[in-house]
Amino acid sequence: MIYDLSGHQSLTPADPEVPARLRRLQELGLGEVADAHLDEFARRAGDITRAPLAMVNFIRDDRQYLGGLYTGAAVPEALRTGLAGRTFTREHGYCPHVVVRRKALVLDDVCDYPRFAGNPVVDEIGIRSYLGAPLIDRTGVALGTVCVVDVEPRPWGRPGLETIKALASELVAQIHAREGK
């Protein structure tokens, strides 16, 4: 875990839902391999929000897996390369916070929030703004997130919040529809 400089506050939240999430992700066949449908959904999320980077992110016990990924032309090559494997630790990024909180998170400029400014994605890959919402399954398990990010601060505001929540709801409905097939 990564801690703030005072050593008092864990910057990566404890996640008691991991066992239930892993079981549910396995049942759904999600979180281990790239999915063209989820890539297309991420592309659409990026287009709708005009964000250069969009993801469908499944949170596991020790890592995050980008089941859906869209990197627009404006994404710096270092960031594109860093995401190529679609896997990174739970300490990188903001999606683990969204999953544990079970609420959308809007960070117009991550540097304005001490808890989030110290995240490795700020210095290592240049993330400056984040907008994400949890994917809460019909069983009540938070599977992961749909999120968009930018390398510049972005005033997402209420419209951004409503958009990302609507996208999360839409994707959960799609996941449930696929489950029934």
Reply yes or no on whether the pLDDT at 95 is more than 90. Answer: no
Confidence band for 110, pLDDT divided at 50, 70 and 90 = confident
Closest to 64 measured CA to CA, from 92, 43, 39: 92
Average pLDDT over residues 162-168: 98
The torsion angles phi and psi of 151, rounded to 5 degrees, stand at -90, 0
Half-sphere exposure for 105 (CA within 13 Å, toward CB): 27
Least confident of 55-64, 69-78, 157-166: 69-78
Domains and CATH numbers, the chain: 18-179 (3.30.450.40)
52 DSSP assignment: S
Reply yes or no on whether the pLDDT at 5 is more than 60. Answer: no
| Angle, in degrees to the nearest 10, between helices 157-179 and 18-28 | 60
Please indicate whether residue 120 or residue 99 has the higher confidence score (pLDDT). 99
Tell me the helices (H) and strands (E) count for the chain, helix number first.
7, 6
What are 138-154's pLDDT values in tens digits? 999 999 999 999 989 99
Q: Which residues, at least 6 apart from 121, have a Cβ–Cβ distance to it below 8 Å? A: 92, 93, 94, 127
Query: Looking at residue 118, what is its pLDDT?
Result: 66
Place of tokens 């700020």: 122
Query: Looking at residue 38, what is its pLDDT?
Result: 97
